[in-house]
């Protein structure tokens, strides 16, 4: 196909087919505009997911590892995260990192949008929980979210289907939280527990974090994309964008990208929407240099790449003297938000989420125990293994990370991807507030495990390989001097350029962000639709 025809001008060019790009594509499809999404990864074939193989536990450590620096797949770009105690996790494919997420789907709280007003730190968002509330609900309906209505830690909302199993593991922790008088709740989960929009209900395959071969986990490739494609959106895979281009008037004209064979193309567009999340988006914006924007596009504030928030993560593992069930979604049956809201007596501001997760399978149980020197050679091997396998419960601690300009994504001066595009470099450190919060969470986690009857607890945090949540690097705000995009996602500098992913977050909340990312993306898409007549004014 001739390049001119192949790259015929479109109305909307979306860069990135993950959680936010998919949601925006779905929402804008009803306008009838010509919409094209470019994605550097490919479709993932569910038949290739590790859980379809006998060595699923080890297979998940290779091509489905959370670090692109470990996977090194063609779609991946290397990330220099040596100057960060937390390594970056992502996945590059249609569906993005939702391919590997646990589908733990708690919403941000109303207070998360008002941290300056309430606690005197960071900044308030220019929008509120209640602005997003209809879009949380819309997103839940679109993708199918399981849960238990009535959570007293949030304003009332009703998940669209019954929750995933608590199992004896969840019951064990529920009784412990009740004994302590602490909040807990069956998690909202982006996993369908009944058939939904042509997808079959969860069968408790259990290895959600390396892809769901059944399609019951609501990753963007199986939830939003089939509907968006049917509505006319075009999706071009295995194409990596190098830069957003601008015309003499300072407006975006499209994007230059490389196809699967490394051939350079230019895709012209009336408007460009960036949806590459908190590391990929600033990388692209910073790489989009021109005489008009020598420091990268949309960067007159100098804040592109700054204020990176990663959610420092801790884990408490409890070992029990009796079996606890392993079967059910591995990372999403319940949470506790007892320590989510600020209490100054704790020695830090803001708070954290506790997420209960299941223990490992037999191979990873044995390998970890052997590595620790706990699983012996010889006759005692089986006795020790029996005391370890199917007897652990994990409690993850997701710490709210406050924005700091020194935590940032820049361009690495040497490292590039396979197309020669400069790679991102991460410079990040934990604040004293985060460290105190994490220590508090680890201590409370031990308390919860002991209340549950654990005979031993092991704590770790911050965990290095836990940089799943990439937020804050193109923040939204009303003031162009202190933000990159306005309150509805449009660049202050380039009026036909939008950002819709986690990089627009002003603060990070203390929970897994994907439901909020998708609610923000749907909100911005709604704003675009309402303003079509004068969108670029």
Partner 1 sequence: MSNTPLIASDQPLTESLRRTLDAVLEIIIPAEPARGMPSAREVAVFRYLQDHASDYWRLLATQLDELDASAFRQFAQHFADLSLDERMRVAHVMRNTNPGFLRRLALETVTCYYQDDRVMVAVGMEPRPPAPKGQEAYAGDFSLVEPVIARGAIWRRTE
Joined together, the tokens standing for residue 147 give 């849960």
Joined together, the tokens standing for residue 91 give 């996945």
Of 9, 34, 74, 114, the one binding partner 1 (CB under 8 A) is 114
> Counting contacts by CB under 8 A, is residue 344 touching partner 1?
no
Sign, Cα dihedral of 357, 98, 352, 24? negative
DSSP symbol at 104: B
> Counting contacts by CB under 8 A, is residue 346 touching partner 1?
no
Considering only CA atoms, which of 118, 161, 159 is closest in space to residue 137? 159
> Counting contacts by CB under 8 A, is residue 153 touching partner 1?
yes
For 409, other C-beta atoms within 10 Å of its C-beta total 31
User: From the CB of 444, what's the least distance to partner 1, in Å?
Assistant: 15
* H helix or E strand, kind and range, residue 146: none
User: From the CB of 186, what's the least distance to partner 1, in Å?
Assistant: 7
Q: Between 375 and 474, whose beta carbon lies closer to partner 1?
A: 375
Between 196 and 235, how does the x/- string for binding to partner 1 read (CB under 8 A)? ------xxxxxx-----xx---------------------
* H helix or E strand, kind and range, residue 71: helix 68-71
Binding to partner 1 (CB under 8 A) within 245-304 occurs at: none
> Counting contacts by CB under 8 A, is residue 122 touching partner 1?
no
Considering only CA atoms, which of 287, 291, 274 is closest in space to residue 491? 274
Considering only CA atoms, which of 108, 129, 121 is closest in space to residue 350? 121
Q: Between 302 and 362, whose beta carbon lies closer to partner 1?
A: 362
Q: Between 143 and 173, whose beta carbon lies closer to partner 1?
A: 173
Of 72, 247, 347, 363, the one binding partner 1 (CB under 8 A) is 363
Total number of residues shown for the chain: 537
Q: Between 43 and 182, whose beta carbon lies closer to partner 1?
A: 182
User: From the CB of 86, what's the least distance to partner 1, in Å?
Assistant: 26
> Counting contacts by CB under 8 A, is residue 125 touching partner 1?
no
Count CA atoms within 13 Å of residue 281 on its CB side. 38
User: From the CB of 493, what's the least distance to partner 1, in Å?
Assistant: 31
> Counting contacts by CB under 8 A, is residue 49 touching partner 1?
yes
Q: Between 131 and 458, whose beta carbon lies closer to partner 1?
A: 131
CA 357 to CA 324: how far, in whole Å?
12
Of 16, 106, 296, 328, the one binding partner 1 (CB under 8 A) is 328
> Counting contacts by CB under 8 A, is residue 1 touching partner 1?
no
Considering only CA atoms, which of 495, 476, 533, 478 is closest in space to residue 250? 495
CA 94 to CA 71: how far, in whole Å?
16
The torsion angle over the Cα atoms of residues 486, 490, 495 and 497, rounded to 10 degrees, is 150
> Counting contacts by CB under 8 A, is residue 183 touching partner 1?
yes
User: From the CB of 487, what's the least distance to partner 1, in Å?
Assistant: 17
> Counting contacts by CB under 8 A, is residue 195 touching partner 1?
no
Between 94 and 113, how does the x/- string for binding to partner 1 read (CB under 8 A)? ---------------xxx-x
Task: Say how many residues touch partner 1, by CB under 8 A.
Answer: 72
Q: Between 205 and 235, whose beta carbon lies closer to partner 1?
A: 205
Q: Between 172 and 491, whose beta carbon lies closer to partner 1?
A: 172
Contact 307, 407 (CB under 8 A): yes
Binding to partner 1 (CB under 8 A) within 389-408 occurs at: 389-390
User: From the CB of 71, what's the least distance to partner 1, in Å?
Assistant: 17
**From edge to edge, which strands make up the β-sheet containing 408-416?**
80-83, 422-427, 408-416
Find all residues with CB under 8 Å of 344, minimum gap 6, and list them: none
């Amino acid at each position: 196909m001739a390049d001119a025809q192949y790259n015929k001008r479109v109305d909307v060019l979306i860069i990135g087919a993950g959680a936010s790009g998919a949601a925006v594509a779905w929402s804008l499809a009803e306008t009838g505009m010509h919409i094209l999404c470019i994605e550097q990864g490919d479709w993932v074939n569910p038949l290739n997911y590790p859980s379809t193989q006998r060595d699923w536990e080890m297979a998940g450590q290779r091509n489905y590892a959370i670090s692109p620096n470990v996977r090194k797949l063609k779609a991946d770009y290397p990330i220099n995260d040596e100057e960060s105690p937390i390594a970056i996790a992502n996945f590059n494919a249609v569906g993005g990192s939702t391919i590997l997420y646990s589908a733990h789907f708690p919403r941000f709280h109303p207070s998360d949008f008002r941290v300056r007003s309430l606690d005197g730190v960071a900044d308030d968002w220019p929008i509120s929980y209640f602005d997003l509330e209809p879009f949380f609900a819309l997103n839940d309906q679109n993708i199918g979210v399981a849960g238990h209505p009535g959570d007293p830690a949030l304003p009332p909302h009703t998940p669209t289907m019954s929750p995933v199993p608590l199992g004896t593991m969840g019951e064990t922790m529920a009784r412990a939280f009740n004994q302590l008088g602490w909040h807990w709740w069956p998690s909202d989960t982006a996993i369908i527990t009944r058939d939904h929009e042509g997808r079959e209900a969860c069968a408790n395959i259990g290895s959600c974090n390396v892809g769901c071969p059944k399609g019951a986990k609501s990753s963007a490739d199986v939830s939003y994309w089939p509907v968006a494609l049917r509505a006319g959106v075009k999706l071009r895979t295995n194409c990596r964008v190098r830069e957003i281009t601008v015309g003499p008037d300072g407006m975006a004209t499209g994007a230059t990208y490389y196809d699967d064979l490394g051939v350079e193309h230019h895709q012209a567009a009336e408007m460009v929407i960036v949806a590459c999340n908190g590391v990929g988006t600033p990388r692209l914006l910073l790489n989009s240099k021109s005489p008009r924007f020598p420091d990268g596009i949309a960067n007159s504030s100098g804040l592109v790449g700054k204020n990176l928030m990663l959610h420092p993560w801790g884990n408490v593992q409890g070992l029990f003297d009796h079996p606890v069930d392993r079967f059910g979604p591995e990372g999403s049956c319940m949470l506790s938000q007892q320590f989510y809201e600020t209490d100054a007596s704790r020695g830090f501001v803001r708070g954290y989420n506790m997420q209960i997760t299941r223990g490992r399978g037999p191979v990873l149980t044995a390998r970890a125990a052997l590595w620790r020197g706990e699983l012996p050679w010889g006759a005692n091997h089986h006795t020790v293994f029996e005391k370890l396998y199917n007897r652990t419960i994990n409690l993850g601690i997701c710490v709210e990370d406050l924005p700091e300009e020194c935590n940032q994504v820049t361009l690495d001066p040497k490292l590039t991807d396979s197309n020669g595009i400069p790679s991102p470099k991460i410079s990040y450190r934990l604040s004293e507030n985060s460290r105190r919060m994490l220590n508090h969470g680890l201590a409370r986690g031990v308390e919860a495990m002991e209340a549950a009857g654990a005979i031993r607890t092991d704590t770790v945090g911050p965990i290095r390989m836990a940089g799943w949540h990439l937020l804050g690097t193109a923040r939204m705000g009303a003031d162009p001097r202190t933000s990159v995009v306005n309150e509805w996602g449009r660049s202050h500098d380039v009026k036909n350029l939008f950002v819709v992913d986690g990089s627009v977050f002003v603060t990070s909340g203390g929970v897994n962000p994907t439901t909020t990312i998708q609610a923000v993306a749907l909100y911005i898409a709604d704003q675009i639709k309402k303003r079509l007549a004068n969108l670029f004014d």
